[in-house]
Amino acid sequence: MDKLVYLDNNATTRVDERVLEEMMPYFKEEYANPSSMYSFAKKASDAIKEARVKIRDFVNARDEKEIIFTSCGSESANTAIRGVLNYNKNKKHIITTKVEHPCVLNLYQTLEKQGYRVDYIGVNSNGELNIDELENAIDEDTALVSVMWANNETGVIFPIKKISEIIKSKNKDTKFFVDSVQVAGKIPIDVQENGIDLLGISGHKFHAPKGVGALYVNSKTMITPLIIGGHQERGKRAGTENTPYIVGIGKAAELAQDSLKYEMTEVKRLRDKLESNIVKKIYNARINTGVAERVPNTTNIGFEYIEGELILLHLSDMGICASSGSACTSGSLEPSHVLRAMNVPFTAIHGSIRWSLSRFTTEEEIDYVIDKLPEIIEKVTSISPYQKELQALKNLRQN
């Protein structure tokens, strides 16, 4: 393959070789249905048990029975949200944020049409959650508070422990769901320490394959299953277990745990190097999240007065993959709902690019981007209709 610098790891990640290796026997030799009675099925059923323990440890759950395997992050979120609401149909109020992933936001919009009252909590210009607004929104009727741990577009981390303390102090019956898809493998996850009732993760964001996720539901939280059928997953998610993929997410979790320190130091160092060099070398670049606390692998940078799509095309010509919004919304020219919620100025919102690294990102790759990007931005800037404004910005930033 020609040159490839993959900096879109919040969209998906490369499967780790060690994960693939661990999965292979469950396609070829140990293909039994894990629920079967004969001894040939024992290896498959033991492998699922082992993976469940690995996910338990990864999120620090008390008991592996609190882990349900799903097909993806979207299914984990839907199972959690619909599961809680369907179990207790008396309560009709939900609190979430304006910057959730579409798999959560679109579900809440559907639920609103079905009679639920939903409060969407805003963020400030750095993408940080307005906690007072959230606190004031909790009432007697609040069934669920649903907040992502880190945002997929900006990487901004929300204060999960503080939010859970607020919820418990205002309404002990309110359940707390945390979409943790973008923190898995980037910062430690501890459901007990953070007072989380339900938590979703997705394998393909931390070097397992696409098509497998997990949901933590604490033993005190009851849910009605989304998929009804056989008794798999203790009746909480029917369907023959996907043994190789479950083995894969278990192994990926173990590896992610082992490389957390690397992620929080080395990956962060490379992200910071990329970010500081872009801002130093390109006068019309701004870090959209200011000083907000973020996961170590992500930066979202606005290039003022130019179009993000054009930047992406030029990057792609040089073998560099980044993204101008979440993968689901790119392809539309609508600016991202996340950056709009942050009130990113219109001059920067259309030219905002998300860069997301992984433990496979190398220094040489970051140096390549730092080397190539200024000429790309210069080319795109030269055809911008906003030359007067750009000149004024140049004068301002260079003084």
Name the site residues for ligand PLP (rule: CB under 6 A).
72-74, 101, 103, 148, 152, 179, 181-182, 202, 204, 213, 326
Cβ neighbors of 11 (< 8 A, separation 6 or more) are: 323, 326, 327, 356
3-state secondary structure of 96: strand
Q: How far is the CB of 389 from ligand PLP (least distance, A)?
A: 33
Nearer to ligand PLP, 30 or 325 (CB): 325
First to last CA, the chain: 44
- Catalytic residue, chosen from 72, 103, 321, 328, is 328
Q: Which two tokens stand for residue 317?
A: 């010509």
Nearer to ligand PLP, 222 or 327 (CB): 327
Q: Which amino acid is at 192?
A: Q
206: Cα within 13 Å, side-chain hemisphere:
32
* Catalytic annotation present for 328: yes
Nearer to ligand PLP, 146 or 202 (CB): 202
**Residue (of 221, 246, 198, 249) closest to 44 by Cα position:** 246
34 vs 31: CA distance, rounded Å = 8
Nearer to ligand PLP, 74 or 194 (CB): 74
**Residue (of 202, 177, 200, 192) closest to 96 by Cα position:** 177
Q: How far is the CB of 193 from ligand PLP (least distance, A)?
A: 21
Q: How far is the CB of 214 from ligand PLP (least distance, A)?
A: 11
Nearer to ligand PLP, 251 or 286 (CB): 251
Residues 387 and 291: beta-carbon distance below 8 Å: no
Nearer to ligand PLP, 181 or 369 (CB): 181
**Residue (of 316, 277, 317) closest to 299 by Cα position:** 277
Q: Which amino acid is at 149?
A: W
Nearer to ligand PLP, 47 or 156 (CB): 156
3-state secondary structure of 10: coil
332 vs 32: CA distance, rounded Å = 44
Q: CA-CA distances (angstroms) from residue 11 to 49, 79, 134, 205, 381? A: 29, 21, 28, 7, 27
**Residue (of 76, 14, 21) closest to 244 by Cα position:** 21
Q: How far is the CB of 181 from ligand PLP (least distance, A)?
A: 4
Q: CA-CA distances (angstroms) from residue 24 to 13, 205, 243, 250, 334? A: 19, 20, 10, 14, 42
Residue whose C-beta lies closest to ligand PLP = 73
Residues 390 and 384: beta-carbon distance below 8 Å: yes
Residues 148 and 166: beta-carbon distance below 8 Å: no
Residues 238 and 227: beta-carbon distance below 8 Å: yes
Q: Which amino acid is at 156?
A: V
Q: How far is the CB of 102 from ligand PLP (least distance, A)?
A: 8
Q: How far is the CB of 115 from ligand PLP (least distance, A)?
A: 25
Nearer to ligand PLP, 342 or 376 (CB): 342
By annotation, the residues acting in catalysis are 328
